[in-house]
Amino acid sequence: MKKAYLATAVLSAVLLTACGSDEAKEDASASTESAIVLENEAQKQSYALGASMGMFVTNRFETQEGLNIATDLAALRAGFEDGLKNNQQMTMEDIQFHTQASDTALRAAQTLKAEQDAAAAIEAGKAFLAENALKEGVTVTESGLQYEVVKGAEGASPAVTDTVTVHYRGTLIDGTEFDSSYSRGEPTSFPLNRVISGWTEGLQLMPLGSTYRFYIPSELAYGQRGQGAIPANSTLIFDVELLEIKSAE
């Protein structure tokens, strides 16, 4: 369902119920770009309330449809109009019951999808790493970390207690970039023992001035919890350029 269509339906329900005139009906069905002029604070607040309702319903229905939960726009409009007239077909107890049932069904579907996505991510990561390990130039450590040398160097390597400064770019195995110090235009510094274990292990292998590419299994990254734009159980790829090492001493 398109956002514009659903928003139109919700706003149309408001206009048709509140105004009831033929002119209002024509305006409501014509376009989502309302001709109303917001001149005072009451109009602005009322418009904001209506817009927030429309956006909430749009997002909710799109979420439900994405999870294969049935929606009924006609019933939504009828309920909205009846609510404005205070002429509901349900008791308040029934409204609360079915609203809670809708929320429960949505949470259950979201939980199931998250579990399915997490399981799929594990299998996808395993398949990717198995194939990647066979490529020329890729080394696999005892922990399962994989790496290749993009640019070699002869400098010293950091200890686990050191603070390092790096440039890096991180992607998922499908190529989606989720973070990059290059995009921000400045490198980042951190204690080596305060990051994911794949970085802690991998950067200790790097000489100062080198650039490595790391292929990090999910258990050496963020695991089941994920992180921001990184889904749960994701295998990660990092290009890391080691710029500076500061000893803990």
Q: What is the pLDDT of residues 42-58, one digit of tens each?
A: 999 999 998 999 899 99
The per-residue pLDDT for 177 is 95
The per-residue pLDDT for 36 is 84
Per the annotation, the verdict on 5 as an active-site residue is: no
The per-residue pLDDT for 25 is 40
What do you get for the CA distance between the two ends of the chain, in Å? 60
The per-residue pLDDT for 226 is 81
The per-residue pLDDT for 225 is 86
| Structure-token match 């799929």, residue found | 120
Per the annotation, the verdict on 212 as an active-site residue is: no
The per-residue pLDDT for 248 is 74
Bridge partners (DSSP) of residue 165 are 189, 244
Closest to 220 (Cα-Cα) out of 202, 240, 208, 204: 202
Options 222, 230, 237, 245, the catalytic residue: 222
Task: Answer yes or no: is pLDDT of 13 > 90.
Answer: no
For residue 85, what are its two tokens? 């007239």
Options 61, 80, 128, 168, the catalytic residue: 168
As a whole number, mean pLDDT of residues 141-146 equals 96
Alpha-carbon distances, residue 213 vs 80, 170, 206, 237 (angstroms)? 55, 10, 10, 7
Give phi and psi for 43, each to the nearest 5: -65, -40
Per the annotation, the verdict on 196 as an active-site residue is: yes
In three-state secondary structure terms, 52 is helix
Closest to 72 (Cα-Cα) out of 61, 86, 85: 61
Residue 163, amino acid: T
Cβ atoms 121, 115 nearer than 8 A? no
Q: Share the mean pLDDT of the chain.
A: 86
C-alpha 150, offset from chain centre? 30
The per-residue pLDDT for 34 is 54
Options 27, 82, 173, 178, the catalytic residue: 178
Per the annotation, the verdict on 168 as an active-site residue is: yes
Closest to 216 (Cα-Cα) out of 170, 150, 159: 170
Task: Answer yes or no: is pLDDT of 18 > 60.
Answer: no
Options 69, 95, 122, 196, the catalytic residue: 196
Which of the four pLDDT bands, split at 50, 70 and 90, describes residue 33? low
Options 61, 237, 238, 245, the catalytic residue: 238
Query: How far, in Å, CA of 179 to CA of 183, rounded?
Result: 8
Q: What is the pLDDT of residues 85-135, one digit of tens each?
A: 999 999 999 999 999 999 999 999 999 988 898 899 999 999 999 999 999
Lowest mean pLDDT among 2-16, 101-115, 165-179: 2-16
Per the annotation, the verdict on 190 as an active-site residue is: no
